[in-house]
Structure 1
Amino acid sequence: MEHSQKKVVDPATRELIHRLLLERLSLAGIARAVQVFEQWLQTYMNHKYANVSRSVQVTPKKRGD
């Protein structure tokens, strides 16, 4: 992008992004709503999801007698 400047996305905007994701909005829609570049948002989300634990803990169900 020509004449682009680096813009730091503040914590309040990141929190808004998280809330919008919970509402199941598209990344393109979120990028437009909070005025960030789609590529930044995609990279940010990839980083966040890479750090999410993938293990599932299962607790055995107690059998009733």
Structure 2
Amino acid sequence: MPKPHGFSYEQLGDHVAITHRGRSATTLRGARAEKFLAEVEAGDAQLVMARWTGAYKFGNERTARNHPRNRG
């Protein structure tokens, strides 16, 4: 699976704004923001941000594309 890239985050007071390629992806507040910051410090920041925003690949894209329902 390719490693995600293009994510960045900014801590603004009590909340965290996550962007992907310059566009807003999500905003976390309170306990969720604290948990996110702890995970970023402990692991790979790009993977953590991709997981928290839901912008990561599941590995089934080729299977879904070839499904009869999705064929053009």
How does the TM-score come out when normalised to structure 2?
A: 0.31
Compute the TM-score of the two structures, normalised by the length of structure 1: 0.33
Choose 1 or 2 for highest CA Rg: 1
More helix as a share of residues = 1
Higher strand share: 2
* Greater relative contact order (Cα < 8 A, sep 6+): 2
